[in-house]
Structure formats: structure tokens, C-alpha cells
């Protein structure tokens, strides 16, 4: 068995069952090996940003890594922005990046580049396989690295000759380090803070906004009165009817400051202390008020759920039930489309167990609030702020969860960074309904222009934020990639279009004109 086959067999043995690919010549032996090994699903993306963004979405829903297959330095470079996002989401990902044969690199052929140099800033683990007999063990190490809490980006560079030369057989998975438990003193300090009777918030993310972690947080809130907050962005929140509701810190600085201004204590469960997404002249970077120093209950790499369980014990919240949201979605509105009516319609129509991928940016600022009491669902956000993640993230989530409806809330500006994901959705027959909000602008930047104090923008500046001239026709773009869709201009059409999207097998796109 050659090195490539030993690597594919090691991946499958290590429970890596999906490979998102955009291969080239140097990866051909790996591609051929995929056919010789059962148990690996291959999903082609037509740009590497689809590949890495889909791996992120897959990992968030499957709670395990997918592999990616990328072509030398530029192929990796094309995927880096969504690896940045995946890394910030702490999604486990195993990247396989082909390289020239070891003996060919010194000739500096056109595609030669410093692949390790490109990978280093955004990968938690990085290795170049030296020869074919080592490839399987390196692949196993990459899986273990990716799975190391809270999830890591692991990148294995695979020179072509290490794929085609005789390999060393399947390698066993090295042990994955356990999540560290936090010290008793840390839990005791958090308990003291919450019982102090002063205004306090428990800031959650990661495992603290899902399943048992969320339930524990809800009990702690019921027992102590602490306010539950989530980060502005979170990899995956379980919410809607029957789940403990959690407010998110708003993205704009002023509402965020207003939300937090009376807090005396903030206890962090997986979350980072809140800071402004960008700096603005005359606005603070730190969002908590002076004197409100964050207390770290558990960092994301530690055992956050265990820490919450011990905190619940410490504050006597073991028995008390958490307050959960009732099933009480908004009524379905009618008439003109605006951000309010759109949010209500979304809240009314959201199907049970939907996976909602939210990259709606300015169009969706009130979607979160208006879906609080909708049918239970998961809410996935962009964790790294590099826009263009929505369509691939939805693609990967749908690969992980073929039986759940995936709703992608996408904006026109963000969507254009990675529209190629629609083709993969069509090829794989994925149940993704994309709601594409077309406001013909980088609307977020129009807000930001004022926020940064850039006064009196002229025509050239305004043009850089305007996506009209020519108008994008998203229904046509989708159809060009095999995805059916329709354009809607009022709430009634929206409701019908959304319904058709949910009922249509495979992907569907509803272009919502705002």
C-alpha cells in the first residue's frame, strides 16, 4: 500500500469519514486511494474556501473533524480565510495539503511556495511528512491534534512522493489529551461572586450554550439570579422552545456598552471577556464597565461543562429547574418586507430542529430576538469575522446532518465571497434553503463609515460600499450552478418561497429583495 492509501486508511480508522476536496496533480494518488478504501465520503468544492468553510460547518454539527484536501500553497491560501473562521470557532479540522515531491522542490517550479509559512499563522498543528512510511503516523497525529480540546486546525503537508512511494500501513491514533478540569478555588470564587448579591452576568459560549452546559447555566441563573449572556458570536447555540434562552452581546459598541453598563461581575464560562469587534476613535475597546473585572470560571480548552456542574453544586442549583423558552413563535405577518416583518416571518416559519447558519449581517440584526420562542433549533455564526462563510458553513452542516433542514441566512455582499458553495450543495443534493438578503450594498460598511468618524464620504467612497451597478441577480447565479430558486418582494411571497425551499429536495435559494 502506498503512502496515500496508508493515510486514507488511517483517517477512516480515526473516524474521519468525510473529505472536502479541491485536488490537483500533487494530490492525485490521495484521490485514487479514496476509491480503494471504504468509509470516506468525498465532497468536491470549486474553490478552496468552500472546502475549508464546509469542514468548519461539518465539525460544528458532527463534533468531529472532517479532512480537507488542498493543492499546494495557493490552494491552502485560498482556504485560509475560512480556516481563520474555523480556528476561531475552535472547530477541529484535518487539512491535507499536497506539495511537490521532496526532490522536486529545489527546482522552484511555478507552484512552489513556503507552504509551512503560509499555514503557520492560522494552524494550531503543522507538519510536513518526510517520507511515505511516516505519512500514516503523521496523519494519526493530525487527527489527535485536531481533536485536542477545544478543537484545533491541524495541517499535514504531503509531498507527492510520500503519497506514491510504498507506505507503512495504518497507524494507530495517539491518545487525545483530556480536557483539563478547573481548580476548586476557581469554582469557589465564581460561586462567591454569584452569591454576592451584586449585578452579575455569566458569559457563555462553546459547550456552555449547548445541551447539558446550557441546562446547568439555566439552573445556576434560576438559583442565583445571575444574568445569562452569550458572546456576540458563537459556534453553535441550541435555542428556541424548551431551551434556556440566552441573550447575546450586540455587535455595535454603543448597545453593547448599554447592555453591560450596570454589571459589577462577569463570570466567563468558555467565553472571552467582551471587546469591541473593531476599534473606533473615541469608543472603548473593552466593553465591560470600569471595575467589572471578568472572572474566568473555565477557558474553552478546559472542561467547561464540569466547571458549570461544580458551580451549580456550589450555589445549590442542583435540583432547581432551569427556565426555558416556551413555544410561542411570532405570528406570520403579511404585506411589505422590512427587517421587522422578515424576522417575524422567519420566527414563525422556522422548522423543528433546523440548523440556522446566520451570516445575515445588517439584515439580520433582529432575527435572533424574533426566533427566541420558535421551534427548537441550532444557531451557527461566523466566529472569525471573515465574511463569506455562510454558504460553505451551511454546506458542511448539511453533510453532517442529512436529516435536518439547514437554513442559511446570507447577505448579498457576504454571499459573493463564496457563491461556489451552491454548486456543491446541488451536486450533493443537500437540504439547504438559502435566504439571500439582497440590499445591493455592503450595508455594514455604511454603518461603519459613520462609526469610525469618517465624515462626508464622497462618491468614490460610497461606490466602494455599493453593490448595485450592475445589480446582482441571485436567482440566476443559483440556477447557473444547478440550484433552483425564486425572488420575493413581500412577506407573502417570502413565506411561500421559504416553504417551497423547505419542501424541495436538495438546495433552494430565496432571493429576498430589501
Query: How far is residue 193 from each of residues 142, 229, 256, 295, measured CA to CA in Å?
Result: 40, 16, 22, 9
CA distances from 130 to 65, 97, 102, 103, 115 (A): 24, 14, 8, 11, 14
470 near its own copies, judged by CB under 8 A: yes
Q: Which stretch binds its own copies (CB under 8 A): 197-205, 319-327, 332-340, 383-391?
A: 383-391
Q: In Å, what is the CA distance from 370 to each residue of 174, 219, 336, 346, 444?
A: 45, 24, 17, 8, 20
Residue 14 or 45 having the CB closest to its own copies: 45
Q: Which stretch binds its own copies (CB under 8 A): 127-135, 148-156, 212-220, 276-284?
A: 276-284
**Which window, 113-121, 242-250, 310-318, 359-367, contacts its own copies (CB under 8 A)?**
113-121
Query: Which cell goes with 9?
Result: 486508511
Range in contact with its own copies (rule: CB under 8 A) among 107-115, 292-300, 304-312, 398-406: 107-115
Residue 46: count other Cβ atoms within 10 Å of its Cβ.
17
**Edge-to-edge, what's the strand order for the sheet holding 125-128?**
41-44, 18-21, 66-71, 93-99, 153-159, 125-128
Q: For residues 37-66, which are near its own copies according to CB under 8 A?
A: 40, 42, 44, 46-47, 49
What residues pair up with 18 in beta bridges, in sequence order? 41
Give the residue from 246, 207, 236, 223 showing the smallest Cα distance to 369. Answer: 246
Minimum CB distance to its own copies, residue 431 (Å): 16
Site for its own copies in 207-266 (CB under 8 A): 233
Cα(428)–Cα(474) distance, integer angstroms: 20
x/- track of binding to its own copies for residues 155-194 (CB under 8 A):
-----xx--x------------------------------
Residue with smaller CB distance to its own copies, 324 or 451: 451
CA 168/CA 134 separation, integer angstroms: 7
Q: Which of 427, 440, 487, 500 binds its own copies (CB under 8 A)?
A: 427
CA distance 452 to 312: 42
Of 120, 192, 212, 503, the one binding its own copies by CB under 8 A: 120
479 in contact with its own copies (CB under 8 A)? yes
* Residue numbers 285-314 binding its own copies by CB under 8 A: 285-286
Q: Residue 482, interface with its own copies (CB under 8 A)?
A: yes
Q: Is 180 helix (H, G, I), strand (E, B) or coil?
A: strand
Provide CB contacts within 8 A for 182, sequence distance 6+. 297, 298, 302, 303, 306, 307, 310
Least distance between its own copies and beta carbon 216 (Å): 26
Closest CA to 98 of 54, 138, 155: 155
Query: Roughly what angle, to the nearest 10 degrees, separates helices 491-503 and 339-349?
Result: 30
Closest approach, Cβ 244 to its own copies, in A, equals: 25
- Binder among 17, 104, 301, 373 for its own copies (CB under 8 A): 104
Q: How far is CA 417 from CA 100, 298, 388, 435, in A?
A: 29, 35, 5, 16
Q: In terms of CB distance, is 383 or 409 closer to its own copies? A: 383
Q: Is 75 in the site for its own copies (CB under 8 A)?
A: yes
Closest to its own copies by CB, 224 or 439: 439
Residue from the set 13, 16, 18, 34 that interacts with its own copies by CB under 8 A = 34
- What's the closest the beta carbon of residue 106 comes to its own copies, in angstroms? 9
Integer Cα distance of 408 and 358 in angstroms: 6
Among 6, 10, 68, 78, binds its own copies (CB under 8 A): 78
For 129-147, letters b (16+ CB in 10 Å) and e give bebbbbbbbbbbbbbbbbb
Q: Which is nearer to its own copies, 285 or 489 (CB)?
A: 285
Among 451, 502, 504, 513, binds its own copies (CB under 8 A): 451
Residue of 173, 332, 452, 513 interacting with its own copies (CB under 8 A):
452
DSSP conformation class of 106: G
Cβ count near 254 (within 10 Å): 11
Out of 289, 320, 457, 499, point to the residue binding its own copies (CB under 8 A): 457
To 5 degrees, how large is the angle CA 363–CA 56–CA 439? 15
Q: Among 129-137, 179-187, 360-368, 466-474, which window interacts with its own copies (CB under 8 A)? A: 466-474
Smallest gap, in angstroms, from Cβ of residue 498 to its own copies?
21
CB of 119 to its own copies, least distance (A): 9
**Helix 184-194 with 304-314: angle, nearest 10 deg:** 50
What are the cell numbers at 71? 493543492
Q: By CB under 8 A, what part of segment 391-420 binds its own copies?
A: 413, 416-417, 419-420
Task: State the minimum distance, in angstroms, from the CB of residue 505 to its own copies.
Answer: 14
Mark 3-32 with x for binding to its own copies (rule: CB under 8 A) and - for no binding.
------------------x-xxxx-xx-xx
* Residue 505 binds its own copies, judged by CB under 8 A: no
Single out the segment in contact with its own copies by CB under 8 A; choices: 172-180, 359-367, 399-407, 447-455.
Answer: 447-455
Amino acid at each position: 500500500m502506498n503512502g496515500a492509501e496508508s493515510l486514507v486508511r488511517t483517517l477512516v480508522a480515526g473516524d474521519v469519514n468525510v473529505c472536502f476536496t479541491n485536488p490537483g496533480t500533487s494530490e492525485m494518488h490521495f484521490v485514487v486511494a479514496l476509491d480503494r478504501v471504504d468509509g470516506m465520503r468525498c465532497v468536491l468544492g470549486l474553490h478552496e474556501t468552500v472546502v475549508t468553510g464546509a469542514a468548519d460547518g461539518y465539525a460544528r454539527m458532527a463534533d468531529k473533524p472532517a479532512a480537507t484536501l488542498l493543492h499546494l500553497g495557493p490552494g491552502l491560501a485560498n482556504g485560509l480565510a475560512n480556516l481563520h473562521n474555523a480556528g476561531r470557532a475552535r472547530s477541529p479540522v484535518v487539512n491535507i495539503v499536497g506539495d511537490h515531491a521532496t526532490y522536486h522542490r529545489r527546482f522552484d517550479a511555478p507552484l512552489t511556495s513556503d507552504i509551512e509559512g503560509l499555514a503557520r499563522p492560522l494552524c494550531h498543528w503543522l507538519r510536513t511528512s518526510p517520507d511515505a512510511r511516516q505519512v500514516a503516523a503523521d496523519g494519526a497525529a493530525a487527527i489527535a491534534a485536531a481533536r485536542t480540546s477545544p478543537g484545533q486546525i491541524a495541517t499535514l503537508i504531503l509531498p507527492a512522493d510520500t503519497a506514491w512511494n510504498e507506505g507503512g500501513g495504518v497507524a494507530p491514533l495517539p491518545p487525545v489529551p483530556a480536557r483539563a478540569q478547573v481548580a476548586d478555588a476557581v469554582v469557589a470564587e465564581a460561586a462567591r461572586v454569584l452569591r454576592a448579591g451584586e449585578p452579575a452576568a455569566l458569559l457563555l459560549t462553546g459547550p456552555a450554550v449547548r445541551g447539558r452546559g446550557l441546562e446547568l447555566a439555566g439552573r445556576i441563573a434560576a438559583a442565583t439570579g445571575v444574568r445569562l449572556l452569550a458572546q456576540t458570536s458563537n459556534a453553535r447555540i441550541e435555542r428556541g422552545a424548551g431551551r434556556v434562552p440566552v441573550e447575546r452581546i450586540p455587535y455595535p459598541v454603543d448597545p453593547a456598552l448599554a447592555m453591560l453598563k450596570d454589571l459589577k461581575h462577569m463570570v466567563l464560562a468558555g467565553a472571552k471577556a467582551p471587546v469591541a469587534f473593531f476599534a473606533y476613535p473615541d469608543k472603548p475597546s473593552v466593553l465591560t464597565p470600569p471595575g467589572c473585572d471578568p472572572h474566568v470560571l473555565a477557558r474553552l480548552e478546559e472542561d467547561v461543562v464540569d466547571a458549570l456542574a461544580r458551580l451549580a453544586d456550589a450555589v445549590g442549583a442542583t435540583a432547581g429547574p432551569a427556565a426555558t423558552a416556551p413555544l410561542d413563535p411570532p405570528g406570520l405577518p403579511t404585506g411589505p418586507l422590512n427587517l421587522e416583518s422578515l424576522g417575524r416571518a422567519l420566527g414563525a416559519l422556522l422548522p423543528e430542529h433546523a440548523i440556522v447558519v446566520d451570516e445575515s449581517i445588517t439584515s439580520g440584526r433582529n432575527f435572533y430576538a424574533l426566533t427566541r420562542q420558535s421551534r427548537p433549533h441550532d444557531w451557527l455564526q461566523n466566529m472569525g469575522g471573515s465574511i463569506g462563510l455562510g454558504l460553505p458553513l451551511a454546506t458542511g452542516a448539511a453533510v453532517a446532518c442529512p436529516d435536518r433542514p439547514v437554513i442559511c441566512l446570507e447577505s448579498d455582499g457576504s454571499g459573493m465571497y463564496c457563491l461556489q458553495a451552491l454548486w456543491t450543495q446541488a451536486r450533493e443534493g443537500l437540504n439547504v434553503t438559502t435566504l439571500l438578503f439582497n440590499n445591493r450594498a455592503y450595508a455594514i460598511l455604511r454603518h461603519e463609515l459613520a462609526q469610525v468618524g469618517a465624515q462626508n464620504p464622497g462618491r468614490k467612497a460610497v461606490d466602494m460600499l455599493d453593490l448595485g451597478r450592475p445589480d446582482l441577480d441571485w436567482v440566476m447565479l443559483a440556477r447557473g450552478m444547478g440550484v433552483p430558486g425564486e425572488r420575493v418582494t413581500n412577506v407573502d411571497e417570502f413565506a411561500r418561497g421559504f416553504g417551497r425551499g423547505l419542501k424541495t429536495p436538495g438546495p433552494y435559494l430565496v432571493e429576498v429583495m430589501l
